Amino acid sequence: MTTFASNRSSLAVYLLACSGFIASGASAGYGVVEATGAFQLPGGSTTTYVSEVGGGSNARIQGYDFGSVNTLTGQTLLLQNFYFENYAYNGGSDNNNWLDGSSTASLNVLIQQGATQISSTNYALKQTSTNGNNRNWDMATGTNTNLAAGLASAAYTVSFNVTYTYNIWTGSQSVGTASTGASTGTFTILPVPAPGAFALIGLAGFISARRRTNHSPESQTRTISGGRPE
């Protein structure tokens, strides 16, 4: 994640500083500052931050390879959390937008194998702090979800999309809905040996152990002078 300056006395300066990584509505009265996932990648023990929007120098979710998961050794692909920051403000005399406690946000995680949908799960996001016109969110449900759980050996795509609501005043109050749009990465579940392969591995191990035993010094009888075994 990135940390943004708390002094936003000049909204124009702030928006200029955020240019290039704010996904906003056509009226520029609402938008997204950051959408970043926290992941523990297969075989790892630390957190890797990968972003849809914002996040400074973080890798982008779009096109990101989350790695290969060896379920045989207990590896996982964990979505530890998802951090989101959006904003809404008065975009003009006839377009007053704002966020409040009634505003909502949710993360959709879509897993596909080729063109076949495997799962589509929505996770509620909760507001964690307010900074002027901006709201910060993270996952209310679904933290530390193993995205690889129950999947067969294959290549998969995983897409992340945050949908959020904001208030609109154009002579009467209504609720608008917007989203980050889907960003898609990939991962692979490694092949698991078939049951017959386990049997062959076990047999090979047994034969190897017998050979070591038969050739060990303890298994061989030495003969001393006179022909008497020692």
Among 211, 215, 180, residue whose Cα is nearest residue 108: 180
Counts of helices then strands in the chain (DSSP H, E)? 2, 14
Q: What is the pLDDT of residue 195?
A: 61
Per-residue pLDDT tens digits for 86-106: 999 987 656 789 999 999 999
List CB contacts of 212: < 8 A, sequence separation 6 or more. Answer: none
CA-CA distance, 37 to 90, in Å (whole number)?
A: 29
Give the pTM: 0.75
Spatial CA neighbour of 66 closest among 197, 143, 191, 159: 159
CB 41 within 8 A of CB 48: yes
Predicted confidence at residue 91, as pLDDT, reads 72
Per-residue model confidence as pLDDT tens digits over 27-54: 458 999 999 999 999 999 999 999 999 9
Q: How high is the pLDDT of residue 171?
A: 85
Lowest mean pLDDT among 79-83, 158-162, 202-206, 221-225: 221-225
- With a pLDDT cut of 70, the percent of the chain lying above it is 70
* Confidence grade of residue 198 (pLDDT, cut at 50, 70, 90): very low
